Amino acid sequence: MTRNMVLEVAAVHWTIEEFQAWQAEHLASRVDQKRWIVAAKRLLGSLNIEPSDLLGEAIFRILIGKRQLNRSVTIEANLFWVMKSIASSWHKRRKRKPEVSLEELLASDEESGDALEVLLISDDGSAPSPEDELAYKQELDALQAVFTDRPDAQMVILGRAEGLKGAELAAFADLNASQLATVQRLISRRLAGYRRDA
Amino acid sequence: MSKTPNARTQLRNVWVATVDDLMGMTESELDTELKEMGIDPEVAAQRGKAAVEQATAKSRAIQRERKRQLMEAARGSSGIARDPGVTADVARTQLARLIAANDGRLTLAARNRNPGDMDDEEVLALYWQIQELSR
């Protein structure tokens, strides 16, 4: 009976210990701390909350096991999505009750856990239901609609959806490398601010 | 181009690429964006560091309290005869199976743990607590 066997059985989610190991390596440098503050600020948008509060809340919820991390994507992707989910719940709450205090907002604890949280939900290999597949399709259309003023960005998103990267993606979107980098920056910023309920 | 992936995979691909973009940003790009956001890059680094440290300290306090409650509950439960053949490794394997099966007797926090990383005392306390719940 070995601990390796135990690890094999429990391999659907990243464990808290694995997150802690990742954290020690990838959240310790100044540049990474800046990176996650940029991400938090993008997600918070106009919400008057310190980006560090969002980062801290996401890490806290993961460390106490309140949020499960999907092993089929990177820990970075999971952390980003946990932050996105929390920020989204804060935006919703503020929209519903504009007078809500900052303390109350930060302490609020609504998590949608819906099928569209595609990065946080473990992929068990089974095909999505027709209803879920339709919802995913509608969500993809909504993401494209964020870029109605930028057909080049829509092409890049289309290519990314197909799994294209680098030169292949540039060729697909008919862009050179420098244009692709510019469009990718735009996509990254706008999508962080995208909210279904906005 | 190969077969088009289903919409779930397409959506996941788009978001993974967005995170990849974030992870690929250089320090100079990060500094530029922080300044555009009205945030001093040095202050951002300090606040990011403090946020990580505070979240870690707060979670450790909660983990300690949970562990204390678990041990207390295990000490207090006397209704079940404890088979001495259940070693910590046996308990670990059983717990891993329950976690893999998403067993309803486990709390969400317990489901996020890897029994391989728990110490012997903790893993046995959790194992016997679940046995109590199964009675």
Among A89, A122, A155, the domain-final residue is: A122
CA A76 to chain centre: 9
Which of A122, A142, A172 finishes a domain?
A122
Buried b (16+ CB within 10 A) or exposed e, A88-102: bbbbbbbeeeeeeee
A18 versus A116: the higher-pLDDT residue is: A18
Check whether residue B88 and residue B121 sit in a common domain: yes
Q: Which has more pLDDT, B116 or A87?
A: A87
Shortest CA distance from A71: residue in chain B? B112
User: What gap in Å lies between CA A20 and CA B56, rounded to an integer?
Assistant: 9
* Residue ranges of A 178-197 with Cβ closer than 8 A to chain B: 184-185, 187-188, 191-192
CA-CA distance, A116 to A133, in Å (whole number)?
10
**By the CB < 8 Å criterion, does A117 face chain B?**
no
Number of neighbours of residue A193 by Cβ within 10 angstroms? 15
pLDDT at A1 over 60: no
Residues B102, B119, single domain; the answer is yes
Domain residues for B116?
81-135
Q: Tell me how many domains chain B contains.
A: 2
Indicate the pLDDT class of residue A83, thresholds 50, 70 and 90.
very high
∠ CA A94-A98-A103, rounded to 5°? 65
ipTM of this predicted structure: 0.85
| Host domain of residue A31 | 1-122
Answer yes or no: do A140 and B13 touch at CB < 8 A.
no
Under 8 Å between Cβ of B105 and B98 = yes
Contact B16 A37 (CB under 8 A): no
Q: Give me the pLDDT at residue B19, please.
A: 94
For the entire predicted model, the pTM comes to 0.79
pLDDT at B1 over 60: no
